[in-house]
Structures are given as structure tokens and as C-alpha cells.
Copies of this chain bind each other. A is one copy, B any other.
Amino acid sequence: MVRLTHDEIDYHAVTEAVRSHAAGAVVLFLGTVRELTAGRQTVSLNYDGYGVMATRTMQQLEVEACRRWPVVAVAIVHRLGHLALGDISIAVAVSCPHRKQAFEAGQFLIDELKRTVPIWKQEHWADGSTEWVHPGTGEVVAPATVEASR
């Protein structure tokens, strides 16, 4: 089960979705909005997503995890839109018979999701600027607000 939402993520429901008598281990990962990044202060985030492709890519990751590990169930929910400090941006839950499998599958899912799923984070810094996070583009500071006002 994979899903995008603009609402708060109910990680209890995400976790219950993977619990099973066949599983001895459940691993849940939550990504939450952190206040400090390299000394800069975040006041909020905005997430944009290419919905149909993001959903499809997450489904492919679920299939791949099930191929690599004896996964009982996977549930992934990613939030889009405006998020405040501490809010949950992503919940990944996976259940397996044993714990090592569950940890490995969980880490694989979030690592690959961050690498391949077309979703983008925009920082809203405490100094009033905003910045899309696009790793590797060399645009360390890319204030869209300044850009828009030129």
C-alpha cells in the first residue's frame, strides 16, 4: 500500500496496515521536519510531487522490497503541501518474519524513495527566503522568492 496525502499522516494506521501473525518484526520509519540544517533554521517546508509518477515509483519500490526480502507487508505514505516543524513528511512501515529483514527492507525503501521518487522539498528559512532542495545542482542557495521578484 502506497499513498500520497495532503493531510497529517496517521502513522498508527500505517503501522497497523502491516501488522500480521506471520510477522515477528515491524519497522516504522518517520521523516519529520527538523529545525536546523547545517546551522540554518527552518520554519516550515513545502513538498511538491509529480503525483502519478511518485505513486508508481513507490509501488515499484514495494515490489522490489518484496523480491529481495520475505516481506509480509509494506505501507508508505508521503505527505505533500505545507508542513510545520515536527510534522511527519513520510511514514514507511514494513513487516517481516525476522527483525534483520525488516530493518534492511525499511532502510532500502526510504533510501530508494529519497533517491528516485519525484517529490521535492522547498525550505522556508527563518530569514524569510525559500529554497528548493535539488541535490547536485550546485545551487546551494536558490531563493525562488528573490528570483520571482526580479
Contact = CB atoms under 8 A, between A and B. Distances in A.
Interface of A: 11-12, 15, 19-36, 85-86, 95, 97, 99, 102-103, 106-107, 110
How many monomers of this protein are in the complex?
A: 2
B86 A21 contact: yes
Given A99-B110, A110-B99, A34 B24 contact: yes
Contacts of A11: 12, 15
Contact of A30 (B22, B26, B110): B26
30 contacts: A11-B15, A12-B12, A15-B28, A15-B30, A19-B30, A19-B32, A19-B86, A20-B86, A21-B34, A22-B34, A22-B35, A23-B32, A23-B34, A24-B31, A24-B32, A25-B30, A25-B31, A26-B29, A26-B30, A27-B28, A27-B30, A28-B28, A28-B29, A28-B30, A29-B99, A34-B97, A99-B107, A99-B110, A103-B103, A103-B106
